[in-house]
């Protein structure tokens, strides 16, 4: 139910792969020892040509956006994500950076994630049409956007205690069809929220998550866990690097116990985004990141 591909320590919340420094290709390093430094593009081309002559093979250029997307649409300009064309738009640089971070700056893996996972899935799932669908408003108190944090991030609230309402729980999770509708609603909410972000250079393009666990259904709710598992997989594959911080308030003991069990399996990058607060410290913790005037009452 969270907005990001961040793997969080329980079924409701969601994570992102760790970031690592990009290693320059070995061929470029070798070339730099033999001649004076040149602009990156010229250096890469010259190195490939020299290597091709030595090995008598045709040089293989580095992957480009054009080559990655050329089979996705008859007119490449039509390929877009979150309303942003992936070609001829400076905002696409920030989108591509998210995929690179999600794959530890391994270029081929990042473009494979973008092309084979995200672009293909968005067509199959009908994302462009889904954004404008009317899926009802019965979950508007469960997940909603409200205000900004102190750093200018949009804030998304996930209020799991609302599912203590048995009628709402049954209406949302009682069978596969309802769980699929919930999944579509959650993806729609995420898509609409992402379109409010600023993808220009220097803009704020991540979201601050507040997860209120007061009266949250326990781990025994199979239907909720199943729906969250489905959402988690989609977010991992198609929505990388969209969470700035995950703050959990009114945290019960069983949630912390579960987190301690899985903590060794989480990356430090992921754990650095988590903040936990008991009921007694929830307000103080929340106001550290969000002005009281910005918190819904």
Domains of the chain: 143-294 (3.40.525.10)
Measured at the CA of 227, the angle between CA 221 and CA 230, to 5 degrees, comes to 140
Is pLDDT of 144 > 80? yes
Contact 156, 144 (CB under 8 A): yes
pLDDT the model gives residue 264:
83
Task: Identify the residue with better confidence: 269 or 2.
Answer: 269
The region that residue 154 occupies, defined by phi over 0 for left and psi between -120 and 50 for alpha, beta otherwise, is beta
pLDDT the model gives residue 62:
46
What's the pLDDT band for 79 if we cut at 50, 70, 90? confident
Percent of the chain with pLDDT over 70: 73
Contact 135, 184 (CB under 8 A): yes
Alpha-carbon distance 282 to 188, whole Å?
29
Is pLDDT of 9 > 70? no
pLDDT the model gives residue 99:
92
Is pLDDT of 143 > 80? yes
**Per-residue pLDDT tens for 233-262?**
788 789 999 999 999 999 998 888 877 877
């Amino acid at each position: 139910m969270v907005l990001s591909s961040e793997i969080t320590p329980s079924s409701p919340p969601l994570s992102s792969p760790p970031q690592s420094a990009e290693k320059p290709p070995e061929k470029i390093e070798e070339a730099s020892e033999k001649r004076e430094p040149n602009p990156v593009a010229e250096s890469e081309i010259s190195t490939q040509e020299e290597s091709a002559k030595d090995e008598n093979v045709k040089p293989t250029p580095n992957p480009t956006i054009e080559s990655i997307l050329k089979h996705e649409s008859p007119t490449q300009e039509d390929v877009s994500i979150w309303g942003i064309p992936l070609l001829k738009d400076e905002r696409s640089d920030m989108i591509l950076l998210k995929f690179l971070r999600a794959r530890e700056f391994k270029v081929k893996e990042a473009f494979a994630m973008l092309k084979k996972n995200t672009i293909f899935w968005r067509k199959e799932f009908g994302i462009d049409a889904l954004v404008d669908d009317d899926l009802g408003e019965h979950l508007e108190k469960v997940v909603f956007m409200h205000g900004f944090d102190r750093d200018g991030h949009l804030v998304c609230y996930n209020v799991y205690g609302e599912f203590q309402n048995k009628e709402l729980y049954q209406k949302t999770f009682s069978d596969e069809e309802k769980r699929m509708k919930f999944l579509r609603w959650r993806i729609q909410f995420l898509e609409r929220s992402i379109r409010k972000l600023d993808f220009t250079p220097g803009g704020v393009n991540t979201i601050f998550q507040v997860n209120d666990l007061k009266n949250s259904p326990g781990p025994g709710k199979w239907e909720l866990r199943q729906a969250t598992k489905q959402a988690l997989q989609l977010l991992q594959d198609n929505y990388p690097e969209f969470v700035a911080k995950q703050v959990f308030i009114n945290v019960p003991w069983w949630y912390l116990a579960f987190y301690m069990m899985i903590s060794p399996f989480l990356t430090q990058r992921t754990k650095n985004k988590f903040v936990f607060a008991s009921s007694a410290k929830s307000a103080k913790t929340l106001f550290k990141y969000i002005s009281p005037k910005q918190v819904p009452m």
